[in-house]
Amino acid sequence: MAGETSYAADSWPHARRVVYNAEVLATGPNTRFVITSRMDAPLALHNWYVQRGTPEQWIDDLKNDCFAD
């Protein structure tokens, strides 16, 4: 289930858009949040961030491998 709300932490000057995706897996709940200014639909926005994260993980893996002993 994907949805959105607004949230303002104490240190933030104003509320921001929060998109969330909540799933119930066999191992328990899996809830993820994204704070964004993009105006895409919640599920499309969540999927965009998931796709964007995969190459960033590859980059992190490469950097860690370069400094491994």
pLDDT tens-digit map of 23-39? 999 999 999 999 999 99
Supply the pTM of this predicted model.
Answer: 0.69
Containing domain of residue 25, as a range? 2-66
- C-alpha–C-alpha distance, residues 35 and 1, integer Å: 17
Residue 54: which pLDDT band, with cuts at 50, 70 and 90? Answer: confident
Residue 13 or residue 57, greater confidence: 13
**Arithmetic mean of pLDDT, 45-64:** 87
**Structural domain count of the chain:** 1
Cβ-count burial of 47 within 10 angstroms (0-12 exposed, 13-18 middle, 19+ buried)? middle
Structure tokens at 48: 């965009």
